[in-house]
Structure 1
Amino acid sequence: MNLSSAWQYFRDEIQQPDEHINLVKAALYIAQEEYFDLDIEEYINAIEAMAIELEERLPLENYPLKIIQCINQYFYDDLAFTGNKENYYDPRNSFLNDVIERRVGIPITLALLYIEVARRIDFPMIGIGMPGHFLIRPDIPEVEIFVDAFNNGEIMFLQDCQERLNQIYQQNVTLKPEFLAPVTNRQFLARMLTNLKYIYLKQQELEKALLCVERILLLFPNATLEIRDRGLLSYQTGRFNQASLDLQAYLLQVPDAQDASTIRRLLAQMGNL
């Protein structure tokens, strides 16, 4: 696979310690794979401009709820950002430049934008990787409130998170503490890429799905299921050497996997090619 400059910029960005990774730049390098002439600085400047405008509107009362309400009014009422419920699986919802321009996105990209604008007004927020629906919350330990960036900045408490989880899975699900744990920058980017990977798989764009898997493996080189998926996608796109290496590595890690017999059949077929 030929490596693009966007891929290399992404790789260089994530080589840093996790807390030094610039999420905006890394997200825009993901988008640059689709938009080769994308001007990274233009979108960074757009976020800076939002923060400057927002700062002028901040309330005198410096309470977290007041600040969140102010961000929400600016973001959702004035700028008209919204969750794309009509076309959730449009790949553009996963590209930060498109989200800024079109003002629609999915939970994780709207969360990223919200976090980055909030950070620039000295109101740090963190990503919460709740299964099925990404949330954010103020980075203040004693403040146990969550914000749903996809649903107009809805303010949520623990019981709301429980109800949202039940709604997503259409059954009662135990809200485990780890469901509301903060995500690292690498986990944040991996979740963005996983969303995009499944969108591309749904659209049968296998080359693009493979690029997403490659980037996830840059973030987490030992991710077992991603090694398997790179093997399967390599097989489907005719890269049999890479497919064989990855699928053998997968079986070494999880020889009793549910799909082990299928993987062994694929390896046998490649051995006969």
Structure 2
Amino acid sequence: MTREEAEAILTAAGKAGDEDFPLLEAAIACAIHDDPERDPELARQLAGAGVERLTDRLVRESPEEALAETLAGDLRLSGDLLDYDNLDNADVLAVATRRKGLPVALGVYYLHVAGKCGLTVQGVDFPGHFLLRIETPEGPMALDPFSEGRVVLPSELTRRALHAGLTPNVAERLDVLMAPAPERAVLIRLQNNVYARAAAARDWPRAERAALRRALIDPEDHRPWLAAAGAREAQGALAGALEALTRASRLDGGAALAARAQRERVRMQLN
């Protein structure tokens, strides 16, 4: 798969409805877009093996146990505790090789495998730490893909929410803390992680690519173009930064004021 082919997949995903969003294939396309010199088949094989194992386990185990044992036990997927900020942790192809990653990158595999096996599992855009929500006969449960898919108790959710800075009246509302996120939002969160880590490392070309992928996945959002403009400006590509800021202004009138000010500042540098 070339970078251009990856962009075509992400463009199609951006046009798809939330019900039809191709999470795993879009995540693979993101990884190839970042580094085309790799084979995407390992990720597909890992996901396929997960579907086979989970299908077998669901005959004799509860949904939450079967999912955790399949992904963390059989496939050996876990959080990277030793090198958390490694950019490989936000790349589903690298995760397939290393079997370690960020919660949201691991969550891509959990969500794909669970969906193929008929389980109702959704991402939870929890502050500071991505979680999963699985529907069970006893009600919804929160799972932590970073901690081998273990169940997170309601009291622990509240504690984490308070630690993340949520107010007590919000932190005690499980309906808010466990609100499901669409799979498009899961992949956007993953690309945000790539952007943040690349920007921190001052790897501006990689940061720009992550911003452009966000723009393809969610073409109505102005914010990826603001991020792309910042990455381009950091590389000295002022004309490209100006073009990105113009796109941001066109997409969202509410952002136009900030984007216009930033655009004028860049234009002054071009003159």
Q: Which has the higher contact order (CA 8 A, sep 6+)?
A: 2
Q: How far is the alpha carbon of 1:138 from its aligned partner?
A: 1.5
Structure 1 partner of 2:56: 56
Is the contact between residue 90 and residue 190 of structure 2 (CA under 8 Å) also seen in structure 1?
A: yes
Structure 2 partner of 1:206: 204
Mark the CA change 1:205 to 1:141 in structure 2 (over 3 Å): closer, same or farther: farther
Unaligned runs of 5+ residues in structure 2 are none
Mark the CA change 1:269 to 1:173 in structure 2 (over 3 Å): closer, same or farther: farther
Q: 2:192 aligns with which of 167, 191, 194?
A: 194
> Which residues in structure 2 correspond to 1:117-136 (within 5 Å)?
117-136=113-132
Amino acid at match of 2:199: L
Q: Percent identity?
A: 22
Q: How far is the alpha carbon of 1:265 from its aligned partner?
A: 6.8
Mark the CA change 1:173 to 1:190 in structure 2 (over 3 Å): closer, same or farther: farther
Q: How far is the alpha carbon of 1:5 from its aligned partner?
A: 2.6
| TM-score, normalised with respect to structure 1 | 0.83
Is the contact between residue 83 and residue 104 of structure 1 (CA under 8 Å) also seen in structure 2?
A: yes
Q: Secondary structure at the match of 2:147?
A: coil
- Most deviating of 49-58 and 83-92: 49-58
> Which residues in structure 2 correspond to 1:163-242 (within 5 Å)?
163-169=159-165, 174-175=170-171, 177-242=175-240
Amino acid at match of 1:151: S
How far apart, in 2, do the equivalents of 1:83 and 1:168 lie?
19
State the Cα RMSD in Å. 2.9
Q: How far is the alpha carbon of 1:54 from its aligned partner?
A: 3.1
| TM-score, normalised with respect to structure 2 | 0.84
Is the contact between residue 53 and residue 74 of structure 2 (CA under 8 Å) also seen in structure 1?
A: no
Task: Compare the two structures and name the one with the higher helix fraction.
Answer: 2
How far apart, in 2, do the equivalents of 1:260 and 1:228 lie?
11
Is the contact between residue 244 and residue 270 of structure 1 (CA under 8 Å) also seen in structure 2?
A: no
- Most deviating of 191-200 and 38-47: 38-47
Mark the CA change 1:264 to 1:214 in structure 2 (over 3 Å): closer, same or farther: closer
Structure 1 partner of 2:88: 92
Unaligned runs of 5+ residues in structure 1 are none
Q: How far is the alpha carbon of 1:192 from its aligned partner?
A: 0.9
Q: How far is the alpha carbon of 1:80 from its aligned partner?
A: 2.9
- Most deviating of 96-105 and 240-249: 240-249
Structure 2 partner of 1:269: 268
How far apart, in 2, do the equivalents of 1:197 and 1:67 lie?
34
Q: How far is the alpha carbon of 1:234 from its aligned partner?
A: 1.9
